[in-house]
Structure 1
Amino acid sequence: MYRFGYSVNKTVCQYSWKCNTVLEWSRSIHNKLFTSSQQIQHKLGLFDSPVKLKGVKISQTRHLSSSRMNLAPSIEFKPTGHLLVDEELEIIVKGLNKQHAVSVYAKLSEEGKHFESCACFNADDNGIVNLKNHPSLSGTYTGVSSMGLFWSMVPCSGQMEGIRLAKKNIDTPFITDISVYNNHHTLNEIRDKTSNDICSTVIERWYKSPDVICHEVHDGNIRGKLYMPAGKGPFPGVIDLFGTVGGITEFRSALLASRGIISLSLPYFLYKDLPKSLGEISLDYFLEAVDWLFHHDKVFPGGIGVVGVSKGGDLALIMSAYSPKVRAVVNINGCTFNATLPLKYSGGDIPEIPLHLDKLENMDGKYIMKNCFEYTSDDITPVWNHGAKVLNILSEDDMCSPGECITLLKETYPKDKTNDCIVLTYPDAGHLVEPPYTPLCNMSYHKSYDMYFMWGGKPEAHAFAQEDSWKNILRFFKSELTKTQFVTAKL
């Protein structure tokens, strides 16, 4: 390849020249044709077809003008900087040929678990593929989705069945390698390609902003971690609860704090000196946590919020029924009654709606739980007791919790308070609704029960539910918890 995008081929050669002679001859041609940058641009405008010069064929292969330049392929994304996982990105592949067929492949590894996705595109007439505007023709998702490579990820082959992508170390990012390959390929075909991508990049996405502060909490009986936005405050304050897996789960609290909400990630069993089993937990522990966060000097006065998924949703509703300091609740596919086990309480234990294991449905060794509870309107938690606002996230393809109990909650509300109960319904979404762009986990191993559970959900619909519900959750807490309300000392 010769300079300035020209190739020099010896097409007519009647003599046997030595190497030095050839070099001198080519330099002479170069000096005559290209004496300045202005002359270069001029020549490029003239050479629209091959030109013969005394035994040398000069053919045009690249234009230098920006409007006609054939760049080397590259990947760009925006915004840049310290990206949070709930940020929508614009991923652009440039420098392709017109209608160039390519496959875009993504791979993410986290604590020994590996996930991947791919999408196939045809470049536009400018040699560009923009995932925000251009449809994926095949792959792990189809159609237009700027974040399709992230929410459509599936576990790589050869791993344990039913693995779930969940962030445990909040001080490290999700690292995703993005590569582009010529032509349209399936995941299996891309796996066989080791080094022939035409361009690649790496995207880091975080649950925690750099200025978020995290404190270990060990105060009275309360254990957990408090995530705080930078600044003087005050901020909305929220207790964050997860389900029956036990231990502490921090990623949602870190993201809430990154969005301006103080969040206490509150474990309640299998963490440090907390109870070892779900049957030992007490409502007094949760009410103590409410008091603790309510009196934090950086939390807006007047009340706090609670967000919970699955069993955490049950507990969030019960906390609001027993404490007027809870002003806003987000229930993500939790039962609207106390499910499975009695809940200890100094004011009198709260009876359970038992789990009827004989009603478990077996689907190829994975179990569906949603039909294992028998309940009536009398069993519904009276969350309206103290006027808390409740936002329910209801997934219609939830295979774990009975979604009908959320509908029954709405119907059971006193007529003058029905506006305090909001239900967002998402068709084809599954049980585990998390912050946006997390891939669907429709089945996984549950260590507390030592069995596999079906969670349900279809990838695209579940992705929409996560993105839409997260926006509503942030808006809900910031609206409800910044209203100054007077709460007497007796409460």
Structure 2
Amino acid sequence: MKPKFHVTQNSSFIDTALEIRITNLPPCEVVTLKAEMCDNLGKNWGSFAEFISNDEGEINLATAKPRSGTYLIPDVTGLFWSMSPILNDKPKGKTPLKPLETKLFLMRGQEVLTFTSIIREVVSPKVDRFPVRQQGIVGTFFFHSKAGPLPTVIVLGGSEGGLRESNAGLLASHGFNTLALAYFGIGDLPKELVNIPLDYIEGAIDWLTGNPNVDSKKIGVFGTSKGAELALLSASIFPSIKAVVGYVPSGVVYPGLGQSALGLTSWQYKGQSLPFANGKIPREVTEKLEQSIRTGKPISWREIYQYWAKDEKQAEIAVEDIQGPILLISGGDDQLWPSDFLSEKVIFRLKEHNHPHNFMHINFPKAGHSLSIPGFPTTQTVISPFGNGKLLLGGTPQDNSQAQYTAWRRIVAFLNETLTSRLD
């Protein structure tokens, strides 16, 4: 009989649990499983693992340990997170939010024994999508037009700028409305992350409040990295925000980012620039940074940001003023900035002020900075965001992937508990 794939998914979404088995193989057969995928940015990825079938001629990816490959532990998601870009492969066009197709090939040597495809959606086809270009707002509104007013979450990306639609689309697929909100780096918005007006966030809240699909008493915010800094800051000022999620966040206002950022803050409100952390950096720390730059090694900014924020009070965000529960997710090996340390500063301040709402910090000790929605490759632990110089993000591909799945489940549960179940 011909070998056969058996793929079970709890749902069609990219964050769902998977089961992948192969049957009808000869016992103790050596085979290779290859995976290929084109992501929504048009980049091609690939991975592989070599297995030996068991005495029944089966391979279960949840329990089978690869003999070799791009990952080496039993893990049903291993072929997905261990993918690397396929070099010299021509990129395809961008297809934002299109379902991802991963092709699996079972091979004996160069012979393809059988193959299958796994389709995973980033956003449910039942979710409506509306580009927002009104009142100066640049965003994408994901909503459920036939469900009546629903809890709604503003989703903020990080220092990459533009829109983070995948986070917002997937979250909306779990029953919320979401607004993927850009705040720089697109359209007529500021070109760099410098002196971004919080009045813009206030305008987005007003737009949501006036939308008949939105339950204006149940608005939350979910930010990543600099977007998490913005989320905490916005929630501390605008009482309409009733729940906050921060991925690798900062509870301290930091300097702006960009060519024009020197000596300037990231945020302003009502025309007033906000104080930012700029503490003294020990000479040995700056020398280490300079050496990395000279030698072309990936740069860790962790210590720089930690010393900037050390003993900093004026630039701390008044998180005690947030009118709802708070969930912070950090990586203990975050090398871009110390999100674990910065999250604990938030927790300390909340305890110090006897914050009346629930708050929690979940730290993944071996994960880095690149926490996002689960199901994508996590092998890129070094990035070159501006074309020159490399930034170290931290963590290992396996630990980052495991953290993403666990964190995402906690976030969906948190927002369900705090917004969906929240009494008016």
The code of the aligned residue for 1:367 comes to: I
| Other-structure match for 1:46 | none
Q: State the distance in 2 between where 1:450 and 1:288 align.
A: 35
Q: Kindly tell me: are residues 209 and 483 of structure 1, through their superposed partners in 2, closer, same or farther at Cα, counting changes over 3 Å?
A: closer
**Which residue, out of 84, 88, 92, partners 2:21?**
92
TM-aligned CA deviation for residue 316 of structure 1? 0.3
Q: Kindly tell me: are residues 307 and 178 of structure 1, through their superposed partners in 2, closer, same or farther at Cα, counting changes over 3 Å?
A: same
Q: State the distance in 2 between where 1:261 and 1:126 align.
A: 45
Out of 104-113 and 392-401, give the one that drifted further.
104-113
User: Is 1:319 paired with 2:243?
Assistant: no
Contact 1:303 1:485 (8 Å CA) reproduced: no
| Other-structure match for 2:324 | 388
Contact 1:234 1:297 (8 Å CA) reproduced: yes
| Other-structure match for 2:381 | 442
Aligned positions of 1:179-328 closer than 5 A: 179-182=105-108, 193=110, 196-229=111-144, 231-328=146-243
TM-aligned CA deviation for residue 230 of structure 1? 5.4
| Other-structure match for 2:6 | 76
Q: In terms of Rg, which structure is larger?
A: 1
The code of the aligned residue for 1:398 comes to: D
Q: State the distance in 1 between where 2:79 and 2:225 align.
A: 27
The code of the aligned residue for 2:23 comes to: K
1:279 aligned counterpart, secondary structure: coil
TM-aligned CA deviation for residue 321 of structure 1? 0.6
Q: State the distance in 2 between where 1:157 and 1:182 align.
A: 24
**Which residue, out of 30, 50, 58, partners 1:120?**
50
Contact 1:73 1:96 (8 Å CA) reproduced: yes
User: Is 1:368 paired with 2:300?
Assistant: yes
Contact 2:132 2:138 (8 Å CA) reproduced: yes
Contact 1:309 1:432 (8 Å CA) reproduced: no
Q: State the distance in 2 between where 1:335 and 1:283 align.
A: 16
TM-aligned CA deviation for residue 454 of structure 1? 1.0
| Other-structure match for 2:413 | 475
TM-aligned CA deviation for residue 283 of structure 1? 0.8
TM-aligned CA deviation for residue 181 of structure 1? 1.6
The code of the aligned residue for 2:107 comes to: Y
TM-aligned CA deviation for residue 238 of structure 1? 0.4
| Other-structure match for 1:345 | 269
1:132 aligned counterpart, secondary structure: coil
TM-aligned CA deviation for residue 213 of structure 1? 0.6
2:249 aligned counterpart, secondary structure: coil
| Other-structure match for 1:139 | 69
2:303 aligned counterpart, secondary structure: coil
Per-residue deviation, residues 85-104 of structure 1 (Å, max 9, x unmatched): 11122112121011222111
Task: State the percentage of identical aligned residues.
Answer: 29
Q: State the distance in 2 between where 1:168 and 1:285 align.
A: 28
Q: State the distance in 2 between where 1:87 and 1:200 align.
A: 21
Contact 2:31 2:107 (8 Å CA) reproduced: yes
CA RMSD in angstroms comes to 2.6
Contact 1:152 1:459 (8 Å CA) reproduced: yes
TM-aligned CA deviation for residue 239 of structure 1? 0.6
Out of 136-145 and 303-312, give the one that drifted further.
136-145
| Other-structure match for 1:411 | 348
Contact 1:397 1:457 (8 Å CA) reproduced: yes
User: Is 1:105 paired with 2:31?
Assistant: no
Contact 1:294 1:303 (8 Å CA) reproduced: no
| Other-structure match for 2:402 | 464
Q: How many residues align?
A: 399
TM-aligned CA deviation for residue 260 of structure 1? 0.9
| Other-structure match for 1:454 | 392
1:372 aligned counterpart, secondary structure: helix
1:409 aligned counterpart, secondary structure: helix
Q: State the distance in 2 between where 1:217 and 1:233 align.
A: 19
Contact 2:251 2:319 (8 Å CA) reproduced: no
Q: State the distance in 2 between where 1:106 and 1:133 align.
A: 18
Per-residue deviation, residues 361-416 of structure 1 (Å, max 9, x unmatched): 62743221112231225132111213321111110111111231211221122352
Q: State the distance in 2 between where 1:446 and 1:394 align.
A: 21
Contact 1:340 1:353 (8 Å CA) reproduced: yes
User: Is 1:178 paired with 2:117?
Assistant: no
TM-aligned CA deviation for residue 126 of structure 1? 2.0
- After TM superposition, what 4+ stretches of structure 1 lie above 3 angstroms from structure 2? 157-160, 354-361, 483-486
2:272 aligned counterpart, secondary structure: coil
Out of 359-368 and 428-437, give the one that drifted further.
359-368
Q: State the distance in 1 between where 2:115 and 2:179 align.
A: 38
| Other-structure match for 1:336 | 251
Q: State the distance in 1 between where 2:107 and 2:327 align.
A: 44
Per-residue deviation, residues 101-132 of structure 1 (Å, max 9, x unmatched): 21111111234422111122221222111212
Q: Kindly tell me: are residues 246 and 444 of structure 1, through their superposed partners in 2, closer, same or farther at Cα, counting changes over 3 Å?
A: same
| Unpaired stretches in structure 2, ≥5 consecutive residues | 257-264
Per-residue deviation, residues 185-211 of structure 1 (Å, max 9, x unmatched): xxxxxxxx4xx2211112222201111
Q: Kindly tell me: are residues 484 and 391 of structure 1, through their superposed partners in 2, closer, same or farther at Cα, counting changes over 3 Å?
A: closer
